Amino acid sequence: MKKVFLFVFAFLATAFAGDGEATIQAYSVIAAGVGLGLAALGGAIGMGHTAAATIAGTARNPGLGGKLMTTMFIALAMIEAQVIYTLVIALIALYANPFLG
């Protein structure tokens, strides 16, 4: 936990070190990193739950395995789409930053 705080404070030091434009860019980098990390974490947890539920359903009723797999792949695509949307927003914040006037 101490390493995480040290890492965050190192980023904050770089964020406050520059002028206004550099500060906004530094905060955009921090926000993009944290946002992508949280999105990836949430997506991974969702995918794990989806796969576990599909395996449990197939184990209970092997005849429905094909339908469950199809439904699982659709759900996984929707979960992954949310992570990709976060990636797009992070890239916009980094390269076409709307906060830089």
pLDDT (tens digit, 9 = 90+) per residue, 64-87? 999 999 999 999 999 999 999 999
Q: Could you tell me which CATH class the domain 2-95 is placed in?
A: mainly alpha
Interval 26-54: pLDDT, tens: 778 888 888 899 999 999 999 999 999 99
pTM, full prediction: 0.72
CB atoms within 10 A of CB 61: 10
Considering only CA atoms, give the Rg of the chain.
20
| CA atoms within 13 Å, Cβ hemisphere of 20 | 3
